[in-house]
Amino acid sequence: MGPLLRDRVAFVTGAGAGIGRTIARRFAEEGADIAAVDLNGPAAEETAAFVRALGRRAEAIRADVANAHDVQAAAGRALEAFGRIDVLVNNAGITLDATIPEMSEADWDAVLDVHLKGTFLCTRAIAPRMREAGRGAIVNMSSISGKIGNIGQANYSSAKAGLVALTKVTAREFAAHGIRANVIQPGLIGTPPTLERGEAKLREGAAGTPLGRIGTPDEVASVALFLASDMASFVTGAVIEVTGGRHM
């Protein structure tokens, strides 16, 4: 079998760091060209440079996924550069944690806007182009927080739960056009925002995980790769937990 994403074009949001950057790199290793989309332009550029070093084409695109104008422009730039988009990974994310009495309306809106509206806007901009092509794969990044509802994460857990429904709607609306949509729910993954929680929290997280450790960005990227590839040709509307067994 050849590379899993040979000559596919992937539009990856939040590609400037963490899981998104790892997905961009893994996809490029499997033959994909990458539109690396991030709020942080220089970080997107760095990811694009990694991809080019692997011998694939890359376009770094600075965009706020919560802004409809930015999203349209980003999709337009990717289509201009590559001619089509085969894979959309809605991964960009932020957290602004506080318990409900302490949470500001602005922080509620900001988190919902990036995760839920951002995924809607990118899907609305790109899925119709996939429909014209008669094929496509969409991978949305939820969180196990959207299944269990974490204390201090009313905004984040609600957005991540909403992504499950949005993914299923996407899967149903586009299935007849050869487009699949699936959603990943990672547990604790060792990216900078997680590592910043401190040693004690990480130890506690690992102890509460049947596999006894936190996960790596590569372990999430592998599942995204599977879902984006033809290996998952009969998988749509699925919610895949990547948690080491935590909260199963």
Give yes or no: 156 in active site. Answer: yes
Contact call for residues 80 and 131 (beta carbons, < 8 A):
no
Handedness of CA 144, 148, 154, 155 (dihedral sign): positive
Closest CA to 48 of 29, 25, 19: 25
- Amino acid 54 reads L
CB of 167 to ligand NAP, least distance (A): 13
Question: Closest distance between ligand NAP and the C-beta of residue 161, in Å?
Answer: 12
Report the C-alpha gap between 164 and 143 in whole angstroms. 10
Beta-bridge partners for 138:
88, 181
Kindly name the residue from 156, 180, 229, 236 that is annotated as catalytic: 156
Least distance CB 119 / ligand NAP (angstroms)? 9
Nearer to ligand NAP, 132 or 139 (CB): 139
Query: Any residues with CB less than 8 A from the CB of 245 and at least 6 apart, and which?
Result: 209, 210, 211
Of 95 and 177, which has the nearer Cβ to ligand NAP? 95
The tokens describing 69, both together, are 């104008």
User: Which residue's Cβ has the minimum distance to ligand NAP?
Assistant: 18
Shortest Å distance, C-beta 144 to ligand NAP: 7
C-beta of 131 vs 216, nearer to ligand NAP: 216
Place of tokens 């372990």: 219
Inter-residue contact 97 to 156 (CB < 8 Å): yes
Q: Which residues bind ligand NAP (CB under 6 A)?
A: 13-14, 16-20, 38-40, 43, 64-66, 91-94, 114, 118, 141, 143, 186, 188-189, 191-194
Rounded to 5 degrees, φ, ψ at 101 are -65, -25
Which residue's CB is nearer to ligand NAP, number 3 or number 40?
40
- What is the set of active-site residues? 156
